[in-house]
Structure formats: C-alpha cells, structure tokens
C-alpha cells in the first residue's frame, strides 16, 4: 500500500474517506500519508464542517465522542434580533446554564440570562423580554455549500472514494489533474454542480435526507466522474480522469451503481439506469460551475437544504436515542420536577416528533408485524412513503395542543409511556431479528 497522493510508503494513516463529521457511516482506509491527510483536513475539511454545525445538529450527528453539536444561529425574542448565538438546542435558551451571548445588527454585544443573574452583571441596565415568543432561524449561505472549502472537500472525498471502490492503492499519473487540484497546485476547475431536474427527481426516490450517495460514471465528454449527492440537498460532480474505456456513446441507457451512506451508519447499494430519449445518445447530466449558480438556482437548493430542518430521519437507532432522552425527561415530569413545556422541549422539533411517532406506533400496534424489520413496518404502520417524517407547522401545533390538553387531564404521562414501552418491545425484537 502506498499514499494515493504521493506514493509514499511511510507514515500511512487511516483516512476518513467521507469526512467523519458529515456522516454516521464511517468509511476509512490507510492509503494516505500523514502529510496529505493533515493537509486536506486542515485546509478544507475542518472549515467546511464548521460551517455546517447547525445542520449537523439538526440531523442528529454528534462529535467524535458522542456529544451534541453546538451551533450558531440568529434568534428573535420579543421583537429583538440577536445574531450569532451559540446554542446546543432550544432548551438552552430557556434555562441557560451560562449567559446566552450574541450581537445586535450593529455588532454590539447582547446578553440574555435569568434576570437575577443579569442584574449583577449589568448593574440594573438590563431589560426583560418575553420568552414565550422565541424564533430560532438560520440563513442558508451558499458559501457554506458551494464555496472554496466545500468544493475542495468534495474533490478530496470523490478521489479517495474512487480509489477505495476501485481498489487503487497507489498514486497514478492519470490522476495528476485532480490531485493537483486537491493539493492546491492548480486552479483548473474540476467540480460542477448538477442542475438537472431529472437527476433530482431520481435521487429523491432513492435517497433520504442526511444520506450521502456516491456513484461513478463515464460521461459523453470522454471523462470519468464521481457524483456526490450530499445529504440529498446538492449533487457535486467531480472530474476524476479521462475515461479509460472511451465512452459508450451509442448506449442509450446509463447503468449506475449507487452507494448510499446513511446517517444511522447503514451502508447500502442500489442499481438504476437512466434512459436517454434521444436516439443513439447516452444519458448524461446537466451540470454547471459553482460560480455560475445564480440566485434563482440557489433558491432551489436552499429549499432542499431547508427540508433538513423540518424532517426527522427515522431509523430504529435514531429513534432509540430520542426515546432515551424522552424517558429521562418523562421521569422528571412524573416526579413533578419539570413542567409540560419543559417536557416538550419548548416545542423542539425532535421531541414532539418522537412523541408523535410513538403514539402512532402504539395506536397501530395491531398492524405491526414482528417478523419484519422496523423500516419494513414503517410504511404500513405510519402510512409513510419514505424513511423520513415531515409534518407541517399546522399539524405540529394541533398535536402540541392535544398533548397540553392531556397534561391538564393527567393523561399525558400514561399516553407517552404506552408509546415508549411498545417501542422498547419493537427495539428488542429488532435486535433479535438482526442476530
Ligand atoms: Zn502522500
């Protein structure tokens, strides 16, 4: 084994082929020397990932040692805008252990904390705000996704993934161009963004929010490409080398093997074909340079990215983690230590969605088939057509009202425990099925 960037045989280190911070599915191989591993990490990946903290938190990804990811967002409280506030969840706003700090539009520092604490700091200059009206928002910046660090990280992942699936374990001359690009020795642009409606229609059928999908193909232009579909938001197309086979210009069907790396750690493969409706012409993808992405096109991508905020990826492992959090809170609620508002996480997306799913599972428990897996049961039990659950704000509000009413009637605890207990049965069953 040699370094795929320089053929060095010394100090080979394990490289995260897919940047660890953007996936639950680890993919590593010791085919990069220490120098080049450090180079890509320090120059691109660390910066790329730091810009994505908000989305990583929403997707339920954690730090390497399993901690919740902190992120910065803007909040409006009672008519006051506070920018760049560091948060780990909505709850940290309501019961802050530390003072919540941000800036106003002019860059002046704003602090938020319980009044008695603030008065000590501000010597009586603090004003009170109504916490019942807090909105957390995040502007989706195109630079975070198609800027310099993002596209160089994509080129690195594409090249290493290509070497990985094709068992390439050394540097070869035909990859000079992409290696020069990754190592910053060339400005030759090799990363495009796919802007093809047919492509996104297809991937939407095959992938889920948070999944990274990779495939390789030979294009009509005589080059070989790797496509990285990032979290089902944007697809990057990276030029790897000249197509070794020439390209099959007369074949109308383009056969593709899609490798999916899911947020819960699963790795799967799916095969599909794309048919060109033009006679004797291979299907291909319309792609443009990142710098040519207009505001209109970016609006479409921002919309796809926005789905991360309103979607919870449903896998038995993610749900197990959420149920564990919920059980801890429910114990406190039962003991009278926290209110219904705190139990519901101040309407935090995942907690309410988890209770929603648990109650649906419990209501439909007769339909659950214990000989099948959780994900096979989902479409039947929850009447879903994919592995994600999305609810409109209106649905959510109605559901929260139902929970608040149950709290008044002293029925809430039992209602949620029924769901939790049934889920734990399902979880145990799933562990037995996978033995
Ligand atoms: Zn090297």
Q: Would you list the domain boundaries of the chain?
A: 80-132, 172-290, 311-433
What is the predicted pLDDT for the residue at 150? 96
Sheet with 109-112: strands ordered across:
109-112, 100-103, 80-87, 71-77, 134-137
Distance between Cα 34 and ligand 1 center (Å): 7
Distance between Cα 178 and ligand 1 center (Å): 14
Distance between Cα 36 and ligand 1 center (Å): 5
Residue 147, CB half-sphere, CA atoms under 13 Å: how many? Answer: 13
Distance between Cα 172 and ligand 1 center (Å): 12
Distance CA(229)–CA(355), nearest Å, equals: 31
Q: HEC profile for the chain?
A: CCCCCCCCCCCEEEEECCCHHHCCCCCEEEEEEHHHHHHHHHHHHHHHHHCCHHHHHHHCCECCCCCECCEEEEEEECCEEEEEEEECCCHHHHCCCCCEEEECCCCCEEEECCHHHHHHHHCCCCCCCCCCCEEEECCCCHHHHHCHHHHHHHHHHHHHHHHHHCCCCCCCHHHHHHHHHHCCCCCCCCEEEECCHHHHHHHHHHCCCCCEEEEEEECCCCEEEEEEEECCCEEEEEEEEECCCCCCCCCCEEEEEEEEECCCCCEEEEEEEEECCCCCCCCCCCEECHHHCCHHHHHHHHHHHHCCCCEEECCHHHHHHHHHHHHHHHHHHHCCCCCHHHHCHHHCHHHHHHHHHHHHHHHCHHHCCCCCCHHHHHHHHCCCCCCEEECCHHHHHHHHHHHHHHHHCCCHHHHHHHHHHHHHHHHHHHHHHCC
Distance between Cα 33 and ligand 1 center (Å): 4
Distance between Cα 174 and ligand 1 center (Å): 16
Distance between Cα 145 and ligand 1 center (Å): 27
CA nearest to 348, candidates 160, 134, 187: 134
Q: Which residues of 296-306 are buried (b: 16+ CB within 10 A; e: fewer)?
A: eebeebbebbe
What is the predicted pLDDT for the residue at 119? 75
Give me the sign of the Cα torsion angle 64, 65, 67, 73. Answer: negative
What is the predicted pLDDT for the residue at 27? 94
Q: How do residues 60-113 score in pLDDT, each as one tens digit? A: 787 777 777 788 888 887 777 888 888 776 666 666 666 778 888 788 888 877
Distance between Cα 257 and ligand 1 center (Å): 29
Distance between Cα 12 and ligand 1 center (Å): 8
Distance between Cα 170 and ligand 1 center (Å): 10
Are 426 and 365 in contact, with CB atoms under 8 Å apart? no
For the chain, report the end-to-end CA distance as a whole number of angstroms: 35
What is the predicted pLDDT for the residue at 92? 67
Distance between Cα 182 and ligand 1 center (Å): 12
Q: How do residues 273-289 score in pLDDT, each as one tens digit? A: 887 766 667 778 899 99
What is the predicted pLDDT for the residue at 165? 98
What is the predicted pLDDT for the residue at 348? 65
What is each CA distance from 267 to 27, 177, 228, 259, 362, in whole angstroms?
A: 10, 30, 15, 7, 29
Distance between Cα 7 and ligand 1 center (Å): 6
Distance between Cα 155 and ligand 1 center (Å): 16
Distance between Cα 266 and ligand 1 center (Å): 30
Contacts of 226 (CB under 8 A, 6+ apart): 158, 159, 161, 162, 214, 215, 216, 237, 238, 240
Distance between Cα 231 and ligand 1 center (Å): 29
Distance between Cα 3 and ligand 1 center (Å): 5
Distance between Cα 44 and ligand 1 center (Å): 16
Are 73 and 136 in contact, with CB atoms under 8 Å apart? yes
What is the predicted pLDDT for the residue at 156? 98
Distance between Cα 6 and ligand 1 center (Å): 4
Distance between Cα 349 and ligand 1 center (Å): 44
Distance between Cα 11 and ligand 1 center (Å): 9
Distance between Cα 35 and ligand 1 center (Å): 6
Mean pLDDT (10-residue bins), the chain, 435 residues: 95 93 91 97 94 84 76 80 78 67 82 75 73 70 93 98 97 96 93 94 90 93 94 97 74 86 88 76 86 93 85 73 88 92 75 88 91 82 64 79 93 96 93 78
pTM beyond 0.85: no
Distance between Cα 374 and ligand 1 center (Å): 44
């Amino acid at each position: 084994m040699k370094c795929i960037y320089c053929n060095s045989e010394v100090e080979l280190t394990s490289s995260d082929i897919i940047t660890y911070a953007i996936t639950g599915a680890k993919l590593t191989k010791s085919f990069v020397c220490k120098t080049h591993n450090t180079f890509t990490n320090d120059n691109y990946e660390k910066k790329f990932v730091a810009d994505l903290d908000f989305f990583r938190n929403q997707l339920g990804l954690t730090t390497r040692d399993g901690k919740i990811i902190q992120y910065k967002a803007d909040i409006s409280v009672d008519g006051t805008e506070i920018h760049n506030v560091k948060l780990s969840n909505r709850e940290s706003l309501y019961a802050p252990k530390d003072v919540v700090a941000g800036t106003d539009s002019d860059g002046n520092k704003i602090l938020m904390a319980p009044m008695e604490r603030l008065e000590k700091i501000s010597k009586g200059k603090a004003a009170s705000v109504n916490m019942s009206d807090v909105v957390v928002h995040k502007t989706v910046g195109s630079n975070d996704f198609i800027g310099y660090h993002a596209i160089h990280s994509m080129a690195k992942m594409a090249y290493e993934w290509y070497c990985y699936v094709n068992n390439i374990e050394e540097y070869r001359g035909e990859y000079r161009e992409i290696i020069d690009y990754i190592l910053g020795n060339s400005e030759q642009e090799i990363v495009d963004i796919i802007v093809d409606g047919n492509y996104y229609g297809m991937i939407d059928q095959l992938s889920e929010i948070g999944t990274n999908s990779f495939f390789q193909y030979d294009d009509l232009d005589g080059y070989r490409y790797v496509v990285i579909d990032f979290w089902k938001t944007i697809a990057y197309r990276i030029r790897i080398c000249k197509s070794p086979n020439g390209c099959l210009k007369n074949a109308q069907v383009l056969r593709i093997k899609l490798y999916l790396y899911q947020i819960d750690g699963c790795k799967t493969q799916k095969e599909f074909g794309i048919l060109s409706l033009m006679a004797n012409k291979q299907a291909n993808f319309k792609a443009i340079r990142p710098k040519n992405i207009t505001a209109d096109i970016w609006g479409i991508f921002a919309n796809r990215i926005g789905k991360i905020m309103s979607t919870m990826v449903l896998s038995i492992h993610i749900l197990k983690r959420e149920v564990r959090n919920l059980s801890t809170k429910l114990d406190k609620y039962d003991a009278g230590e926290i209110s219904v508002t705190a139990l519901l996480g101040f309407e935090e997306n995942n907690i309410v969605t988890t209770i929603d799913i648990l109650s649906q599972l419990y209501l439909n428990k007769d339909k659950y088939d214990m000989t099948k897996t959780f994900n096979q049961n989902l479409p039947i039990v929850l009447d879903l057509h994919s592995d994600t659950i999305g609810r409109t704000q209106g649905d959510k509000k109605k559901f929260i009202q139902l929970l608040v009413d149950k709290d008044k009637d002293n029925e809430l605890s039992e209602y949620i425990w029924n769901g939790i207990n049934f889920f734990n049965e399902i979880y145990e069953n799933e562990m037995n099925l996978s033995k």
